[in-house]
Structure formats: C-alpha cells, structure tokens
Amino acid sequence: MFKKSSMPLIVGAIICFVLGVSILVSCVVVPTTDSNSESDSEQITPEEQEEHRNACEGESENNENADPTVPSAPQVQPGSEESPSASEPEQPEQPVEPEEKPYVSSKDDPLLVLANVDNPLPEDFEVGELEKVQGKYEMSVRAASFAKDMIAAAKEDGITLQLCSAYRARSLQQTLFDNKYDSYISKGWTHDDAYAKTATIIAIPGTSEHQTGLCMDVVTPSYQVLDAGYAETDAAKWLAENAWEFGFILRYPKDKQDITKIIFEPWHYRFVGIENAKLIKDSGLCLEEYLDTLE
C-alpha cells in the first residue's frame, strides 16, 4: 500500500504520462490529417492539367484545342536544314558558262572573197563543187542550200523567186561582155565609151562575182526585166528585207555605185554567210566598204 505522502507524486506522474501521450499523438496524427486536407484542396482537374502542360511545352500544330486563327511556331526537327546544329552539305561547283563572244568577220573568210574591177580573181581561181539550185542554175555548194531555203521561205510567204543567172564560167562571162560591148559599137559608140559603159553593166571577165559561184540574179515571173523597176516588185522587197537571214546581201545598192563601179542591181544577191550578212546589213555598208573595216 502506498503511503499518503506518496500519492501526490503518483498522481503527478500519471498526469505527465497522459500529457506526454497526448502530445505524441498530436504530432503524428494531426500533421497527417492536415496534409491530406491540403492535398484535397489543391487537387486540379484534368482540364487544368492539360492547360498547364500546354503552357509549359507550347501548343502543338496537331492540338485539337488550339486556336486555328493563331499560327503555331514551326517545330525544328534535329538534323533538318533549319536545325542550327545541322551542317549544310557542300554544294558542287557549278560550271561557269563561257561568255559567248560576238562574231567577228575576217578578210580571210572565203565567203568574203572580193571580185571587182580593182580586184580581179586569180587566173587559177577554182570555184569548187557546184550544186543545182533551180532549173539549170548552179551555185557553189557553200551557198546552194541557203539559196534553196530562201526560195522555199519566200514561197511560204506567197513570193515566187525565179533565178535568171547564177554561176558563170569565165568563158561565159567573156561572151556576155563581148555581146553587150558589140551592141554599143553597133550604135556608133566609140571603143572606149562602149567598153566603159559595158563594164558598168557586165563585169569584165575575171572580175565577176558570178565566177565565184556565190551570187545569183533573182527575178519573179511577173517581172523578168533586169532594170531598176524590179525594185518595186513584191519579190524585190521581200529579198531586201529577208535575204540576210539566209546569208545573202544586196551586192550593188543604189547609193554605192561610185564605190562598186556597178549600176544599181536590185536583182543581184551575193552569199557571204549568215553572220557576215547580218553585220553588213546592220552597218549599211557595201561589201567593199565593209572589207575596209576589217583587219
């Protein structure tokens, strides 16, 4: 049995034990309860989670909830051309196209051979191979195909070009010259006057372009007279405008007679090649003048 004097101590000890147990329980149980309560109060809905995720990661182009009026930022894939870390492949060097140089005529061009009273052809001049152009008329093979193309092109435009002369051998040129000379003598002309006049119409043998095989005299069925009136025909006008495209030039222009020493012959066309023909036509010069500009 306990003594009465020990009772207060025992009661005090019991009170202390009970208080200690109460404090221990409050430290363990109460925080747990508060934590659950706080978790319940801060729990977010699935919709709020989705919004939170979009805000952190950025909206995807395939996001069905995205506003279609707001453009989305492009997503750069690793290794793509737009990726900063991707190295651009080396491009092969493109071949440099050489600059096309303009065509330059040369005095040595056989197509520019000059035959006139001051520049007779050599005694041993050879025309080379000939080719028929129209009917019995032949030209050098260097010019024949171009002449045939020109005749065909004119026909497509409703123009008929008819040859009345092309290549002439020196012997034929001599015959033509003598016949014209004799016609003036029969009219009472002096020898010198008849010769000089004939030379302006029929080239002196050895000085005629016809001997080169590079020229032709062209008329049209409705006008076959070799005079200045031919220049007013549709055929002559077509030639004056288009012949250069086929490599031909009007050899004896009206305003160059003092240089060529030949009368105006709107029917006489000379082949010089397409490049040369364009340059000569653009220059407004006759062949003699043009050759003087070349080195």
**Out of 38, 100, 156, 265, which one is annotated catalytic?**
265
Active site residue 47: no
Euclidean distance between CA atoms 281 and 250, whole angstroms: 9
What is the pairing mode between strands 268-271 and 215-219?
antiparallel
Task: Give the separation between CA 269 and CA 251, rounded to whole angstroms.
Answer: 6
Q: What's the CA gap between 203 and 177, in Å, rounded?
A: 7
Q: How far is CA 52 from the centre of its chain?
A: 61
Q: Are 220 and 235 in contact (CB under 8 A)?
A: yes
Whether residue 216 contacts residue 249, with contact meaning beta carbons closer than 8 Å, is answered with no
Interstrand relation of 248-250 and 130-134 (parallel, antiparallel or unpaired): unpaired
| Rounded-to-integer distance, Cα 24 and Cα 11, Å | 20
Which are the catalytic amino acids? 265
